[in-house]
Amino acid sequence: MYSIGETAKLVGLSTYTLRYYEKEKIITPLRNANGERTFDEQHIQWLRFVIRLKATQMPIAKIREYTELFLEGEHTTRQRLELLQNHQVLIQQQLERLTSVESELQYKIENYEKIIASTTK
């Protein structure tokens, strides 16, 4: 079992963020005899998944929705699948936009390098 501080360090989040995720019902820590939050390996794995979802710009509301569906049980598998598939489409759109911007940047960089090279001769 891990304390909130230990958990925060393990997953790279602040204790404030862990408390926020608890408030948003994204994670439900256990409580020890003193009422302090404790986290087990399943919590750690879940938080790592949540972190990956956040890294893909999934909104907290969608993460909460996914969490609620997960907690409801196996009968929500299709809904969870659809939620993740919809998010995957958004990620693919983000990648396309980023690829386009990266191409434009590369074009500009090459032009500036040519200008600099021609003026230093």
The average pLDDT across 88-114 equals 94
Domains of the chain, first to last: 2-92 (1.10.1660.10)
Contacts of residue 66, Cβ cutoff 8 Å, sequence gap at least 6: 53, 80, 83, 84
Contacts of residue 61, Cβ cutoff 8 Å, sequence gap at least 6: none
Beta bridge pairs of residue 7: none
What confidence tens digit (pLDDT) does each residue in 111-120 have? 999 999 888 7
Residue 34 CB burial class (10 angstroms; 0-12, 13-18, ≥19) = exposed
Percent of the chain with pLDDT over 70: 99
